[in-house]
Chain A
Amino acid sequence: MKGNNVLIEGKNLTKVFGFGGNKTTAVDNVSFAFHEGEIISIVGESGSGKTTLAKLIMGLLKESAGTIEYMGKPRRLKRHSDRRKYWKHIQAIFQDPFSSFNQFYRVEKLLLDCIKLQGEKLTKEEQLRRMKEACSFVNLKYEELHNKYPFELSGGQMQRLMIARIFILHPKLLIADEPTSMVDACSRSTILDMLLKLREENNMTIIFITHDVGLAYYVSDTLYIMEQGKVVEKGPAEEVILNPKHPYTRQLISDVPKIHSEWDLA
Chain B
Amino acid sequence: MNSSFRILIKSPKFMFGACTLLAMIGLVLIYPLFNRSDPLEMIALAYQPPDAKLLLGSDNFGRDLFLELIYGIRTSLQVGLIAGVFATAIGLVIGLTSGYIGGMIDNLLTAVTNIFIVIPSFVILILISVSIDSRSSFVTAVIIGVTSWPWTARAVRAQTSSLRNRDHVNIAKISGYSTPRIIVSEILPYIASYVVMAFVLQTASGILSEASISMLGLGPYNTISLGIIMNWALVFEAPVAGAWWAFIPAAISIAMITFSLYMMNTGMDEIFNPKIRS
Which residues from chain A sit less than 8 Å from chain B, CB to CB?
55, 58, 60, 80, 83-84, 87-88, 90-92, 94-96, 99-102, 104-105, 110, 113-114, 116-117
B135 to chain A, nearest CB (A): 42
A105 contacts across to B, CB distance below 8 A: 185
A218 to chain B, nearest CB (A): 26
Give B178's nearest chain A residue, CB to CB.
Answer: A80
**Partner of A84 from B1, B170, B172, B176 at Cβ < 8 Å:** B176
Q: A84-B176, A87-B174 are in contact. Are A104 and B167 (CB under 8 A)?
A: no
Give A105's nearest chain B residue, CB to CB.
Answer: B185
**Partner of B173 from A60, A101, A104 at Cβ < 8 Å:** A60
A102 in contact with B175 (CB, 8 Å): no
A100 in contact with B168 (CB, 8 Å): yes
Known: A84-B176, A87-B174, A102-B168. 19 other contacts (CB 8 A): A60-B174, A80-B178, A83-B173, A87-B173, A87-B175, A94-B167, A94-B170, A94-B171, A96-B167, A100-B167, A100-B168, A101-B168, A102-B171, A102-B185, A102-B189, A104-B190, A113-B175, A116-B176, A117-B175
A100 in contact with B178 (CB, 8 Å): no
B166 contacts chain A at the CB level, 8 A cutoff? yes
A–B complex contacts, Cβ < 8 Å, 23 sampled: A58-B174, A80-B178, A83-B173, A84-B176, A87-B174, A90-B174, A94-B167, A94-B170, A96-B167, A99-B166, A99-B168, A100-B170, A100-B171, A101-B171, A102-B171, A102-B185, A102-B186, A104-B1, A104-B190, A105-B185, A110-B171, A113-B172, A113-B177
B175 in contact with A99 (CB, 8 Å): no
Chain B, residues 144-188, CB within 8 Å of chain A (1/0): the string is: 000000000000000000000011101111111111000001100
A117 in contact with B176 (CB, 8 Å): yes
Give A80's nearest chain B residue, CB to CB.
Answer: B178
A110 contacts across to B, CB distance below 8 A: 171
Interface size grouping (class) on chain B: 10 to 19
Instruction: Tell me, in angstroms, the Cα distance from A264 to B179 when the chains sit together.
Output: 55
Instruction: Tell me, in angstroms, the Cα distance from A202 to B176 when the chains sit together.
Output: 22
B179 contacts across to A, CB distance below 8 A: 80
B190 contacts across to A, CB distance below 8 A: 104
Q: A102-B185, A102-B189, A104-B189 are in contact. Are A60 and B170 (CB under 8 A)?
A: yes
B172 in contact with A114 (CB, 8 Å): no
B166 contacts across to A, CB distance below 8 A: 99
A161 to chain B, nearest CB (A): 11
A99 contacts across to B, CB distance below 8 A: 166-168
B175 to chain A, nearest CB (A): 5
Instruction: Tell me, in angstroms, the Cα distance from A104 to B177 when the chains sit together.
Output: 16
A114 in contact with B175 (CB, 8 Å): yes
Give A101's nearest chain B residue, CB to CB.
Answer: B168
Within 8 A of A (CB), among B172-222: 172-179, 185-186, 189-190
A87 in contact with B167 (CB, 8 Å): no
Instruction: Tell me, in angstroms, the Cα distance from A100 to B169 when the chains sit together.
Output: 8
A87 contacts across to B, CB distance below 8 A: 173-176
B172 contacts across to A, CB distance below 8 A: 102, 113
Give A100's nearest chain B residue, CB to CB.
Answer: B167
B174 in contact with A91 (CB, 8 Å): yes
A84 contacts across to B, CB distance below 8 A: 176
Q: A102-B185, A102-B189, A104-B189 are in contact. Are A92 and B168 (CB under 8 A)?
A: no
List the 5 shortest-distance A-B pairs measured between CB atoms, nearest first: A94-B167, A104-B189, A100-B167, A102-B168, A84-B176
Give B179's nearest chain A residue, CB to CB.
Answer: A80
B189 contacts across to A, CB distance below 8 A: 102, 104
Give A60's nearest chain B residue, CB to CB.
Answer: B170
Which of B1, B166, B173, B174 lies at the interface centre, i.e. has the most chain A CB atoms within 10 A of its CB?
A: B174
Give B187's nearest chain A residue, CB to CB.
Answer: A102
A58 contacts across to B, CB distance below 8 A: 170, 174
A165 to chain B, nearest CB (A): 8
B167 contacts across to A, CB distance below 8 A: 94-96, 99-100
B185 contacts across to A, CB distance below 8 A: 102, 104-105
